[in-house]
Amino acid sequence: MASRIMLVDDEERILEVLACMFKEIGWDVATAATPAEALRLVSEEPFRMAFVDNHIGSMEGLELIEQLRAVDPSLQFVIMTGNPDIETAIKAIKSGIADFLRKPFRFEDLLVCIEHVNRKIDLEQQKKDLLAGWKDRHS
């Protein structure tokens, strides 16, 4: 699985700060300031996870995530928002978002989020492996 993270936010300064934080802990980072850039990046290379702002210009983050998921169904997503509300959080969780980060967040919050998403990815891979093994034994 790719060890790359994609960051999507229409605020360049936020992208710069987040990219520095991720690079400091060893991740290879790609950034996108527009939905079109994000879609291009996902179509060109695999990412382990993507952190997507809840509002990218006139597009909602969940809408962009649906489009990105159509390109790469295995990609895991984290929604970042400066204006959290319970309705958005519920919609995000129901749509299969791996995690939800409220801006501004601390470096420790980011580390916990990465750990959570990595654990989810690893568990999903174990599930696939177990199912494949079960099918092999019972076919």
Q: Would you say 35 and 10 are in contact if contact means Cβ atoms under 8 Å apart?
A: no
Q: Where are the alpha helices (DSSP H) in the chain?
A: 12-24, 35-44, 61-71, 86-94, 107-137
Contacts of 44 (CB under 8 A, 6+ apart): none
**What pLDDT is attached to residue 68?**
97
Token duo for residue 116:
């959570």
In the chain, the domains with their CATH numbers are 4-137 (3.40.50.2300)
Find, among 21, 14, 105, the residue nearest to 5 by Cα. 21
**What pLDDT is attached to residue 2?**
54
Please state the pTM of the whole predicted model. 0.88
pLDDT tens digits in sequence order for the chain, 139 residues long = 458 999 999 999 999 999 999 999 999 999 999 999 999 999 999 999 999 999 998 899 999 999 999 999 999 999 998 887 888 888 888 888 999 898 888 989 999 999 999 999 889 888 888 988 888 888 7
**What pLDDT is attached to residue 1?**
45
At 123 the three-state DSSP class reads helix
**What pLDDT is attached to residue 136?**
82
**What pLDDT is attached to residue 50?**
97
At 10 the three-state DSSP class reads coil
